[in-house]
Amino acid sequence: MYVLLIFIAAQLSPILFIAPTLSYFQGQGMDRDAAAAATSGWLIFLTMGIGFIITLLVIFRDKRFFDIWKGTKSSLLMSIVWGFLGFLLLLIGQSIAALIEMNLLGIEPGSENTASLVNIAEAVPLAIVSIVLFGPILEELVFRRVLFGSLNQTTNFFFATAISALVFALIHFDFTHLLLYFTTGLILAFLYQKTKRIITPIIAHICLNGYVMLIQLNMDKILEFQKQMENLQ
């Protein structure tokens, strides 16, 4: 419950500081769009960073926080290996989900949530730390350990996975691509169930966010490289 409340506070607390922070950046001579991006970037970095530190302090005081599984956990090495394999599963799963969205549902590829985060990262590079590190760790602790883990003990794997994946999709406020986020949640829950170690979905999630940021922030260079290769051919 404490972990869940900390996560909610980290998500909502920036609202309290938007107006004064925006005014500060505008006072520095920034136009409204640039000031808004800087405001979002710094608030994401600070609130998620503080939430991350407080969450770690809370969970490490409870030695039984991660002891929710019956049976033997995978070794640390295999859990790490499954984390990187899980990253590949996420890429495959998201590709299939995107094809279904485009061909069957008529939804164009591209996420407004991702585009917004890229703009924020370009304005405040420190925000990348929250997007790639703080965010994935907090989300796995909340959605896989707290939500999925708790429901899995009282219901069954499929129900717990469905609920945690659905909430994971809704929390990103990108309702057009619910299938994409739902698929991601399903795969991450599977990884947690497979190894019984939270480090596995955390690694997969960090790799996914890092990969997306790397691609999106260097899209101009990638397109230029593709154009050069086409010219050579």
Kindly report which listed range (6-10, 35-39, 157-161) carries the lowest average pLDDT score.
157-161
- Separation of alpha carbons 52 and 135, rounded Å: 8
Catalytic position from the list 101, 139, 177, 205: 139
Is 140 labeled as catalytic in the residue annotation? no
Amino acid code (one letter) for 5: L
* pLDDT in the model for residue 174: 67
Q: Which residue in this structure is represented by tokens 């925006």?
A: 22
Q: What pLDDT band is residue 66 in, cutting at 50, 70 and 90? A: confident
The mean pLDDT of 173-182, rounded to a whole number, is 77
Q: What pLDDT band is residue 110 in, cutting at 50, 70 and 90? A: low
- Within the chain, residue ranges assigned H as helices are 2-12, 14-27, 32-59, 76-103, 112-123, 127-129, 135-139, 149-154, 157-171, 178-195, 199-217, 219-232
Catalytic position from the list 101, 112, 172, 224: 172
Cα–Cα distance list, 113 to 75, 89, 175, 176, 178 (Å): 35, 21, 10, 10, 12
> Residue 128 above 90 pLDDT?
yes
Q: Are 141 and 54 in contact (CB under 8 A)?
A: no
The mean pLDDT of 181-210, rounded to a whole number, is 93
Taking alpha carbons only, the member of 31, 221, 34, 3 closest to residue 124 is 34
Q: Which residue in this structure is represented by tokens 């920036």?
A: 14
> Residue 168 above 90 pLDDT?
no
Q: What pLDDT band is residue 231 in, cutting at 50, 70 and 90? A: confident
Taking alpha carbons only, the member of 13, 9, 212 closest to residue 128 is 212
**Residue 106, helix vs strand vs coil:** coil
Q: Average pLDDT, whole number, for the chain?
A: 87
* pLDDT in the model for residue 198: 94
Domain membership of residue 177 as a residue range: 2-232
The mean pLDDT of 117-137, rounded to a whole number, is 91
- Separation of alpha carbons 9 and 5, rounded Å: 6
User: Token digits for 8?
Assistant: 């909610």
To the nearest 10°, report the CA torsion of 99, 211, 150, 74: 110
Kindly report which listed range (9-18, 41-50, 114-123, 196-205) carries the lowest average pLDDT score.
114-123
Distance of CA 113 to the CA centre of its chain: 11
> Residue 47 above 80 pLDDT?
yes
168 or 35: which carries more pLDDT confidence? 35
The mean pLDDT of 32-56, rounded to a whole number, is 92
> Residue 93 above 90 pLDDT?
yes
Domain count for the chain = 1
Taking alpha carbons only, the member of 144, 133, 200 closest to residue 168 is 144
Q: Which residue in this structure is represented by tokens 């925000």?
A: 127
Is 172 labeled as catalytic in the residue annotation? yes
What percentage of the chain has pLDDT greater than the value 90? Answer: 42
* pLDDT in the model for residue 229: 76
